[in-house]
Structure 1
Amino acid sequence: MRFLPLASFLLATACVPLGTPITDPNAGRAGTQKPPEYYADKTLKYQDYAYSPDVRSVQCYVATGQPNEVLQPPIVPLGQSGAITLEFDVLGEQSQRFTAKLIHCDVDWQPSILTDMQFLNEINEFLITDYRVGTGTKTPYFHYRLRAPQVKISGNYLLVVQNQGGAPVVSRRLLVYENQVSVGLKPGIVIGGKERFTMQQLDFSVGYGAVELVNPAVEVKVVLRQNFRWDNAKYNLRPTFVRDADRRLEYQYFNFENAFPGLSEYRFFDTRSVQSVGIGVLHVNPQARPVTTAELLPETSRALTAYNQYVDANGQRVFESREYGNGATNADYFDVTFQLKSDQPAPGPVYAFGAFSDWQLKDEYKLTYDEAKQLYSGHALLKQGYYNYDFAVGGTRGANETYFEGSHYETENQYDLLVYYRPPGTRADLLIGYQMVDMNSRQ
């Protein structure tokens, strides 16, 4: 798998004096408001989720020892699950005792009926002993780190962190695959009218010549994702052709079942410095209490603009402090103000959206509309770093990113295909094939 080098998109900082500074730095600030009601629900959710407003800056990645390792999604070949690393902060001045466990899931992310010893060689309870206190920060927090255990079979896993009372604190999806089948995934050409300028199509096939699959046309299940996201993944894709002689499944569609909106390159901002204004930032107030405030430059809709090429991080973020280094424990928390100019209200609630929101429309990142100023704005408590994001409109079909961001076939995105199969007489969906491909790669 290839990923963008970290240095390629973390080079520039700039000071652009536009917009209106915040006059009351503490009015309605993040961290001073009542937490959203959904945090009261401690029911385990089989998805990437944080169960407390004190849990922040969750990252789950494959530790490679390289500078850009935090951009590696938690996907590994069988035998390398121990490289998957989970990190998160818990706000507060007192450390807590946390344990973690793995839950094996089926293709639909529901718990399987396997016992722990069928996918683990050890007791399924792991005490988190690697934790450190945030140093020299206004916002007190402890930073926790955990390596996932080795597993014996491929498939979907949910890594769950629990407190002493057994309530979930953080959950993250992990993928462990094996190459039993050959996966052919490549960029395709959208067949259609105006969609060929806005959509990106992925053509793919699954070759099973090296393995005996019973009824592969029905039993093989595939999931197609854009930028490793689950919220807009394509499920229930059935093969359109079964080449028995070639032992290959082909997936060829004509109604955009295998196409995604290309969107635009992600917006970005840099809050790694307290002493200078980073790119995308209008104003930083290090004297603000209780936390430093950062007001982002007012953004505008890109729905009707031409494509603008630049290197982004596909919605991800990296934590860092320019003054002190080591973003894990030296980066402070900023109260960040998002701003979006709009002549009229959108047809639904508007959110700041990206990996920092777990690709979910969360109340913490919901913006309010000021009709007099024709401006959406909202606050969020975010750790110092470099962030990608966009603006999404909420609706019955989930996040609508095209309303403010537009969509272009030229946009650089990453796609991956997951191939699952449950052998007859077994009780587990195995992840028997995996491939990732770049669309419009800049390499």
Structure 2
Amino acid sequence: MRVLPLLLLLLAPACVPLGTPITSTSSAPGQQKPPEYYADKTLRYQDYTYTPEVRSVQCYVATGQPNEVFQPPVVPLGQSPAITLEFDVLGEQSQRYTAKLIHCDLNWQPSVLTDMQFLNEINEFPITDYRVGVNTKVPYFHYRLRAPAVKLSGNYLLLVQSPGGVPVVSRRLLVYENQVQVGLKPGLVIGGQERYALQQLDFGISYASVNLVNPAVEVKVVLRQNFRWDNAKYNLRPTFVRDAERRLEYQYFAFENAFPGLSEYRFFDTRSVQSNGIGVLHLDPRTSPVSVTLQPEETRNKQAYNQYQDTNGQRVFESREFGNGATNADYTNVTFQLKAAQPAPGPVYVLGALTDWQLKDEFRLSYDEAKQLYTGHALLKQGYYNYDFAVAGTPGSAPDEIYFEGSHRETENQYDLLVYYRPPGSRADLLIGYQTAAVNSRL
């Protein structure tokens, strides 16, 4: 699921894999949204959208390259390029927003640092870069902000607020420094059937160039798949501490450092509202917003692995007719469909960057027993989308993506390792190491 070769894919008119429909209770502008998700305005220290008018949020590293929107918001301390936040606000009237940074600890709770301990400027940034959507059926304003530079490595929450301090959107940012050497590479799964479905990441940390106090206890690591936070692995302890070599090794035998490989993400292409893109069954440009019905999808569990290029669950906005997806792409009412001979053991959702990797009420699918079909509707900006289907489990448990997607060791995925350390007497968890690794890279 490598994203770098996607540029050629995006420039081609129709060479993207088949997409799937998703069902949701989301509706077109003018219709009331379900209150469950958006009713609570309590600030959350995670990627979150607090109002239904805010759509199409992207947070990435502005590299100047065509595929920059796929770069996660992770930057080295004291270096360019900057992290950029973009989002739309539906409606015909622009809004006044300000942004601020919140320094967080390892567990994504606000730290006790003052603003001046991690910033060189006043921690209030008016968002003045905004433009109106051009000739769109669904009116909106597009906002853009470059995150300010910071003085400390670690976790930061970028928060956008409306007048009165009401949260609008929040995104997690990472700033790292390479004080330690991190080795992260694909490993071999030792097991039975697990070796066909899981992907293991082996890693070690060398700290020869820095003095760490009690590193076996004080060094904390987080392992992520495709830069997601919802299924990240925490509390991984070193299995070997080699004091003479000043090295920590993490070698597990109970799959603590293994992830389901899943399948390549499903996708669909709505960059044109004049002709059907890949994964689109039917579209009606006469409606407002344009109605798009996706091809019915089927379960991929227990099926053979199917190799194709995807974008690791991400999406990009674009209009084939007018270009410039930021302000020329319109919003469409997308109908998702999923064939199922019987209901799943729990509620079924669409999952991906389009949902902030959360089980949102507006992306929940409804099951028609007579048709043996899950369906739903979601208001989405024109673009190319990756996603999969997930079944909700018990409260607090991770959603089950394997039920409809299956899992294969051959799937291409990206992983990254975050290494934290709090020096003695310090009040900040520093991000002292960062490393990425690709499994089954297509390059």
Q: For 1:192, give the aligned amino acid.
A: G
Question: In the alignment, is the contact (CA less than 8 A) between 1:91 and 1:140 conserved in 2?
Answer: yes
Question: In the alignment, is the contact (CA less than 8 A) between 2:9 and 2:15 conserved in 1?
Answer: no
* Alignment-derived partner of residue 137 in structure 2: 138
1:388 and 2:386 aligned: yes
Question: In the alignment, is the contact (CA less than 8 A) between 2:265 and 2:387 conserved in 1?
Answer: yes
1:417 and 2:417 aligned: yes
* Alignment-derived partner of residue 318 in structure 1: 316
Question: In the alignment, is the contact (CA less than 8 A) between 2:138 and 2:330 conserved in 1?
Answer: yes
Offset, 1:407: 0.2
Offset, 1:3: 4.5
Label 1:35 to 1:82 Cα distance change in 2 as closer, same or farther (>3 A). farther
RMSD: 1.9
Q: For 2:296, give the aligned amino acid.
A: P
* Alignment-derived partner of residue 9 in structure 2: 9
Offset, 1:306: 0.1
Query: What per-residue deviation string (whole Å, max 9, x for no partner) do you get for residues 4-47 of structure 1?
Result: 23324323528999999xxxxxx984442433323121110000
* Alignment-derived partner of residue 369 in structure 2: 371
**What TM-score, normalized to structure 1?**
0.96
- Quote the Cα distance in structure 2 between the aligned partners of 1:360 and 1:106: 22
* Alignment-derived partner of residue 177 in structure 2: 178
- Quote the Cα distance in structure 2 between the aligned partners of 1:285 and 1:203: 50
- Quote the Cα distance in structure 2 between the aligned partners of 1:54 and 1:230: 24
Label 1:138 to 1:186 Cα distance change in 2 as closer, same or farther (>3 A). same
Query: What per-residue deviation string (whole Å, max 9, x for no partner) do you get for residues 234-260 of structure 1?
Result: 000000110001100000111100000
Q: How many residues align?
A: 435
SS across alignment from 1:112: coil
SS across alignment from 1:73: coil
Query: What per-residue deviation string (whole Å, max 9, x for no partner) do you get for residues 183-232 of structure 1?
Result: 00000000000000000000000000000000000000000000000000
Query: What per-residue deviation string (whole Å, max 9, x for no partner) do you get for residues 76-126 of structure 1?
Result: 000136610000000000001000000000010000000000000000000
* Alignment-derived partner of residue 42 in structure 1: 41
SS across alignment from 2:326: helix
Between the aligned residues of both structures, percent identity stands at 77
* Alignment-derived partner of residue 60 in structure 1: 59
Label 1:130 to 1:372 Cα distance change in 2 as closer, same or farther (>3 A). same
1:344 and 2:342 aligned: yes
Q: Can you give the 5+ residue segments of structure 1 that lack an aligned partner in the other structure? A: 21-26
Question: In the alignment, is the contact (CA less than 8 A) between 2:19 and 2:297 conserved in 1?
Answer: no
Q: For 2:333, give the aligned amino acid.
A: D
Runs of 4+ in 1 over 6 A off after TM superposition: 14-20
- Quote the Cα distance in structure 1 between the aligned partners of 2:309 and 2:139: 34
Question: In the alignment, is the contact (CA less than 8 A) between 2:156 and 2:172 conserved in 1?
Answer: yes
Q: Return the structure number with greater relative CO, CA threshold 8 A, min gap 6.
A: 2
* Alignment-derived partner of residue 245 in structure 1: 244
TM alignment of 1:146-295, pairs within 5 A: 146-289=145-288, 291-295=289-293
* Alignment-derived partner of residue 24 in structure 1: none
Label 1:28 to 1:86 Cα distance change in 2 as closer, same or farther (>3 A). closer
* Alignment-derived partner of residue 75 in structure 1: 74
1:328 and 2:326 aligned: yes
SS across alignment from 1:398: coil
1:95 and 2:94 aligned: yes
- Quote the Cα distance in structure 1 between the aligned partners of 2:70 and 2:19: 31
Q: For 2:355, give the aligned amino acid.
A: S
Question: In the alignment, is the contact (CA less than 8 A) between 1:81 and 1:176 conserved in 2?
Answer: no
Q: Can you give the 5+ residue segments of structure 2 that lack an aligned partner in the other structure? A: none
Label 1:36 to 1:116 Cα distance change in 2 as closer, same or farther (>3 A). same
SS across alignment from 1:187: strand
